[in-house]
Amino acid sequence: MFFQNPNDEAIRQFLLSIHRIAVVGLSPKPDRPSFTVAKVMQQAGMQIVPVRPFTDTVLGETAYAHLSDVPGKVDLVNVFRAADQISPIVDEAIALQIPAIWIQQGIINEAAAERARAAGLFVVMDRCIKLDYLRLCL
């Protein structure tokens, strides 16, 4: 199996169309990559929804234990979890009919990514949303 990301133009159009990002594994620690990436996306005007058990708030936003706990519409699930934890997150995103999932740079689970794509989700894997946003949208 060989997963291929959408091309740069498709990613650019997608990034310009989203408004609300659920960030699974968003750390409240400012020195963690998930925090710095989410902060840049928040500063770009996107609403960040932290999804992290046992955490009350991150970046001034209420945190939720699971994707299914998040109220309202979510445009994208951005995942900062280990590769072996991706499958249940993909399953939950599919069940909740979230239209897209972004699996952060360094995280690869081709089977889960292909399953998400087969379910109709826009899928990006092993890329940094912050770097792509800065490179393609500014």
Amino acid symbol at 87: S
- pLDDT tops 80 at residue 76: yes
Alpha-carbon distances, residue 60 vs 19, 39, 53 (angstroms): 17, 10, 16
Predicted local distance difference test score (pLDDT) of residue 2: 84
List residues bridging with 24 in a β-sheet. 51, 79
Query: Which residue range forms the structural domain that includes residue 45?
Result: 18-137
pTM, entire model? 0.96
Answer whether residue 4 is part of any domain: no
- pLDDT tens track for 6-45: 999 999 999 999 999 999 999 999 999 999 999 999 999 9
Answer whether residue 7 is part of any domain: no
Answer whether residue 8 is part of any domain: no
Predicted local distance difference test score (pLDDT) of residue 1: 58
Q: What is the mean pLDDT of residues 64-89?
A: 97
- pLDDT tens track for 85-121: 999 999 999 999 999 999 999 999 999 999 999 999 9
Predicted local distance difference test score (pLDDT) of residue 121: 98
Answer whether residue 97 is part of any domain: yes
Tell me how many domains the chain contains: 1
Domain with 41 in it: what CATH number? 3.40.50.720
Q: Is the dihedral of CA 14, 20, 26, 31 positive or negative?
A: positive
CB 14 within 8 A of CB 136: no
Angle CA 105–109–115, to nearest 5: 120
- pLDDT tens track for 35-49: 999 999 999 999 999
